[in-house]
Structure formats: structure tokens, C-alpha cells
Structure 1
Amino acid sequence: MLLTIFLAIVVCAAVALMMFAGVAFIQDTKLFSSAPKEFREVLKPRDKELFYGAKAIGWMLMIFSVVMIIGALVISVWDSFRCEYSFWQFFLRFVMIFTLYKLFDMICIDYFLLLKFHFFQFYFPEIESVNHGRKYGFNIKSQLLKLLVVFPAISALVAWICTLI
């Protein structure tokens, strides 16, 4: 259980680092496909780097984030095999990791970073007008669908596959 929570924290930190790398350093609008549609419509492409080497630093951070996420998932599977988990134990481990990640995404990234601290708006001020007056996160239906349906289904599928092996 403690390892599961730790791995969920690692995934959350990696996602936050990935978002930071994309927004602050790389600044390529193609990377913002998960941003709200309203944001994507008003974003202006950034051709000039924030400073020399910013994109290189951003891509290194992005690669490191992906490695962190893959590593956390591999460790969770490996430890589950080592401890001879049943289907339900596999399922609970994955659903906890995905649920904690999605709650982090909804609360910390969408609510605090985007709405309260204006992190995204600092680097892309053109979205300020779209953000004005919002009191909750973005894509709430999509977020809840992932939290309540998609991630439990993926967790069940992964647990089923792992118990077959």
C-alpha cells in the first residue's frame, strides 16, 4: 500500500514536471492537446525560445518525465508479481495510482495552477480572457469520465492481463 501511494506520487510529480517542461520551456502549442479547447483556440505559436537552450532543457525534462512514469508503472507491475497479487490486488493498485493521478490533475493542475496561480497565463497571456470568471476546473465532464469509467476499466484490463501471465 505504501509503495502504491509512493508510485502515485511519482506519477503526479512526473506529470507536473512534464507540464512545466511543455509550458515554460518548449512552448510548442502542439503539446497542449489536453488543454481546454477554449485555450487552444486563442494560443499563439511561439517561434522564439524563451532563452537559448530552453527547448533542449524542456525536451530533456519531458523525456525524464516519461521515463519516471514508465518506471513507476513497471515497478508497480514487478512488485505485484513478486508479491503474487490476485486480480483484485492488481486492480486496486492500478486504480489507486490512476485515481490519485487524476485527482492531482483536477485539483492541483487544473484548479490551482491554471485558475488560482495563473501559471499557464504567465507564459501565454492571450488566454487570460478565456479564463476570466471561471470558478472550477476545465473539461469537468471529461475529467469525471476518466476518473469514474476509463481509469477503472484500464485498471481492470491491466489486472486481468497481469493475472494471465
Structure 2
Amino acid sequence: MIITLLLTLCNIVLLCMMILTATVFMPYRGLAKNFPKDVQEALKSRLDEIDRQPKLPKIFGGILIVIMFLLFVVVFIIGGIDGMHNNYTYNKFLLRFLIIAFGTKTFDIIALDYFLLTKTNFFPFFP
């Protein structure tokens, strides 16, 4: 059970690093299409600034995102290998993978979506 919780923590850290990387290195103009028209107008100068940014940080950010995504997969592989060494049954494997996946998603909803987006001013600091 301790390994399952450690793997869940690894996924949570990877998720936070992916969001930070995407925010800092890869701002995306296309997300503003989902905003109301008045918000799009207010953000017009910041969106134009995104187009003028150099491409190298975006490429670096893309590489980091791919590496972190692969590490997400590695976390599940490590969980599977450890389960095989400990003779896990199907139900134990299922429980381990559900704890990892739902633990990460719960953190995403509570800490990131609720706290980071609604209670802090994290994203306005980044153009």
C-alpha cells in the first residue's frame, strides 16, 4: 500500500510540473477562443504578445511535457512490475491502478481546479 501511495504522489508531482511547464513555456492563444467576447477583448494585448514570443521556449516546453507524460506511463509500469513481484491478483492490480488514477484526479480537482484557478492569482502572472 505504501508503494501505491508513493506512486500516486509521483503522479501528483508530475501533474503539477506539467501544468507549470505548460503555463510558463507554452502559453496557447487558442484557449482564449472559449472565453466570452468581453474577456477576449480585454486579453487582446496579452494574446498578441504570445504570438511574438520566440519558438525555442515552446519547443523546450513541448519536450518537457512529452518526457513528463512518459513518466506518467512509467509510474503505472512500476506499479505493475511491483505487483507481479508480490504476486498480486487481478483485483489487487485493479485497486492499485484505481487508487493511483483517482488519487491524481482528486488532487487535480480539489487542489488545482478549485484552489489554483479560483482562489489564487497564479495564471494572471503569466502572459
**Normalising TM by the smaller chain, what interval?**
0.7 to 0.9
Q: Does 1:48 align with 2:41?
A: no
2:14: which partner in 1? Answer: 14
Q: Number of paired residues?
A: 116
| Contact 1:80-1:90 within 8 A present in 2 as well | yes
Higher fraction of helix: 2
CA contact (8 A) 1:8 1:98 kept: yes
Q: Which has the higher contact order (CA 8 A, sep 6+)?
A: 2
Deviations 1:4-55 (A, max 9, x none): 111111111111111111111111245x6xxxxxx65136472132x77422
Given residue 20 of structure 1, which amino acid in structure 2 is its aligned partner?
A: L
Residue 89 (str. 1) matches residue 82 (str. 2): no
CA displacement at 1:85 relative to structure 2: 0.7
C-alpha RMSD over aligned residues: 2.2
Gaps of 5+ in 1: 33-38, 125-165
Partner SS state of residue 51, structure 2:
coil
Residue 108 (structure 2) aligned to one of 105, 109, 117: 105
Give the whole-Å Cα distance in 2 for the aligned partners of 1:3 and 1:29: 40
Identity across matched positions, percent: 26
What's the TM-score, normalizing by structure 2?
Answer: 0.77
Give the alignment's TM-score, normalised by structure 1. Answer: 0.61
